[in-house]
Structure 1
Amino acid sequence: MPKSLAVRYWTVLLVCFGMVLAAIYVSLTNGVFDLTVTDVLKTLLRIDPVPEHDLVIFDFRLPRIVAAALVGFGLGAAGAAIQGISRNDLADPGILGINAGAGAAIVVFMFFFEGRLTGSGWLAILAMPLFGWIGGLGAAALIYFFSWRNGRLDPQRLILVGIAAGSGLGDLSLYLSLKMNPQDFEMATVWLTGTIWNANWPYIAAMLPWLVLFVPIIIRKSPVLDLLQLGEDRAKGLGVATEREKNILLFSSIGIVSACVSVSGNIGFVGLIAPHIAKRLVGIHHDRAIPVSGTIGMLLVIAADFIAKTVFSPAELPVGVVISIIGIPYFVYLLSKTRV
């Protein structure tokens, strides 16, 4: 990497990380119950702890912030990889139908178990995200099966099948939610629009291993993503086993997105917006674009969560709605700039 590009990359990454820290500070100290910086530091460092501060920080605010950061980073990184695999700048994890599959599984869980399992063990706590993760992987497997053509994975067919599957699974979710009692229907509706209001430490513990496992794989495969942009025939000519590499990258992206959606619900547009901003800032090479895209995703979700819980307080908007307010105009802008 030339020195000037390296300096630019690290400058952008540090600035983005500084903005993430600023967003975390604002989210920790502001809300219905305001805290000072001193209160936060004393609570985190366990200096003269106050029970009320412990409750606000460790039970309510910090789990939401950590979950928002992990979800944002995962969706941003996976979005950059999926755009690279499909060679489509308008691709998004939600387009592949993974979000819809996880959402349908969650709605099935709410319909049959009313959103909870009896007991107090980890299985009862993690039942809903576990259903979402299984649903996301199941939808991805179905889409993958129908996207396989002539012994290879067709990127354009992958997107078309994903859109169709997402539409069908969305209709299934709507049908089941209309059969629920009013309380469960409201819960399902909020979850499907994307929210992390119920994030807790067990949910984070369930999601974190998938990010630790698959994000490094995607970053390590960045040179392959760069070569895929030349076209599959040219990539093969340069010695890339294109089908195997696409399978690895797609499976890793699916694992990340499924884990994120199982905790946060259907938060769209992060995987679309973050990679585009990252590529404008640090260039198209994926070894730089993926980490920056993940960091921008963190910033987007943390900031959106703060806006969602404070602007209309004591009422709370779903995070997905706040991000969609930004994402839809940006998608239209990208669509107008893309040559079809």
Structure 2
Amino acid sequence: MSIFTLLTFGAFYLHVTNGIFDMSVWDVCKTILRINPNEKFDLVIFQFRLPRIIIAALVGIGLGIAGTVIQGVTKNGLADPGILGINSGAGASIVIFMYFFQMSSITSTQSSFSSILMMPIFGFVGGALAAALIYLFSWRNGVLDMQRLILSGIAISSGFGALSLYISLKMNAQDYEMAAVWIAGSIYNANWTFVASMLPWILILGTIIYRKSPLLDYFQLEESSAKSLGIKVEKEKSILLVSSIGLVSACVSVSGGIGFIGLMAPHIAKQLVGLQHKYVMPMSAVIGMFLLILSDYIAKTVFAPSELSVGIVVSIIGIPYFLYLLVKLKV
């Protein structure tokens, strides 16, 4: 945990000091501590870089925690919010929100705060609908079939992805450009309003999930064994899944569809700290935070002054890792 926390601070340092406008550590410290404040430095740090880094950190934490929950509840090491279609469901719902509320005009007005706060709620509805459909098609003879779960997730993810594309094509040019960049996974236009919109979701739902994280250890047993210990299995699974859907929806509302963080972070965490979820959960959150801050730094700088979507950078890392897990787990 200490090593990854230091690595995260290293990624933070690279992100906040490097870019089209390079700054020294002393410049950053003076600006944050308000020592001889400079208007140019204030603009770069407080309006562009700090909100972006904080959003990347919060999204990484949320996706890392949600991925741990989904893998624990489904007992499937290849499950994550993106693969199971929850990202796509939340994303489609938010694209519909963008279409009807015209995000390009909202983000340029003083009334944007309340509208942006609504985005995670829209995302939650879409994510919950996707999860319900996946469960409906995966439930077989009173048991959740893991193979059907993955196949249903892929199909539903494709369906919601097609819906997002269809809706975005009906937008005006300015909104379409915003939606297209957002669908690919991007946090380049982050601001403090987006931070405020998702922070309560991360704090409240993250706390609920962490308090219930020891239950994920028992869910690895046969369901009858867990019930014999007095655990209300279905109730607890529902609370954990609904909380994780809320986390994913809050993340998708500000960053678009970023996949693979929820897949990689729990696996790396388990290799480092073992299988007890009370240790895996915070470790996964820190790893997710580190991966996304570093990926966003790469997305910002590798083709500067142009930028890649951070979702593309994460996919470049995540796809080989996913294939490695397929071989290792012999799925």
**TM-score normalized by the length of structure 2:** 0.92
Structure 1 alignment gaps of length 5 or more: 1-12
Report the 3-state secondary structure (helix = DSSP H, G, I; strand = E; otherwise coil) of the residue aligned with 1:267.
coil
Is residue 93 of structure 2 the alignment partner of residue 105 of structure 1?
A: yes
Q: Give deviations 1:170-195, integer Å, cap 9, x for gaps.
A: 11112222333444333222111101
Q: What value does the CA root-mean-square deviation take over the aligned residues?
A: 2.1
Structure 2 alignment gaps of length 5 or more: none
Q: 1:282 to 1:30 in 2, by over 3 A?
A: same
Is residue 5 of structure 2 the alignment partner of residue 14 of structure 1?
A: no
Among 287, 308, 322, which residue is 2:299 paired with?
A: 308
Query: Which stretch shows the higher mean deviation, 237-246 or 17-26?
Result: 237-246
Aligned to 1:203: 194
Report the 3-state secondary structure (helix = DSSP H, G, I; strand = E; otherwise coil) of the residue aligned with 1:188.
helix
2:186/2:310 contact within 8 Å kept: yes
Shift of 1:335: 0.5
Q: Give deviations 1:250-303, integer Å, cap 9, x for gaps.
A: 111111111111111000000000111111111111111111111000000000
Q: How far apart, in 2, do the equivalents of 1:240 and 1:276 lie?
A: 26
Among 81, 84, 89, which residue is 1:96 paired with?
A: 84
Among 5, 12, 16, which residue is 1:24 paired with?
A: 12
Aligned to 1:276: 267
1:105/1:132 contact within 8 Å kept: yes
Report the 3-state secondary structure (helix = DSSP H, G, I; strand = E; otherwise coil) of the residue aligned with 1:256.
helix
Aligned to 1:79: 67
Aligned to 1:6: none
Aligned to 1:338: 329
Q: Percent identity?
A: 62
Shift of 1:59: 0.2
Query: Which stretch shows the higher mean deviation, 188-197 or 100-109?
Result: 100-109
Aligned to 1:247: 238
Shift of 1:160: 4.1
Shift of 1:103: 1.6
Among 35, 39, 44, which residue is 1:47 paired with?
A: 35
**TM-score normalized by the length of structure 1:** 0.90
Q: How far apart, in 2, do the equivalents of 1:202 and 1:179 lie?
A: 27
1:85/1:228 contact within 8 Å kept: yes
- How many residues end up aligned between the 2 structures? 328
Query: Which stretch shows the higher mean deviation, 223-232 or 303-312?
Result: 223-232
Q: 1:255 to 1:104 in 2, by over 3 A?
A: same
Report the 3-state secondary structure (helix = DSSP H, G, I; strand = E; otherwise coil) of the residue aligned with 2:43.
helix
Give, as a single letter, the amino acid of the residue that structure 2 aligns with 1:109.
F
Q: How far apart, in 2, do the equivalents of 1:99 and 1:218 lie?
A: 19
Aligned to 1:317: 308
Give, as a single letter, the amino acid of the residue that structure 1 aligns with 2:67.
G
2:63/2:248 contact within 8 Å kept: yes
Q: How far apart, in 1, do the equivalents of 2:204 and 2:223 lie?
A: 27
Q: Give deviations 1:47-72, integer Å, cap 9, x for gaps.
A: 11111111000000000000000000
Q: How far apart, in 2, do the equivalents of 1:106 and 1:125 lie?
A: 10
1:116/1:128 contact within 8 Å kept: no
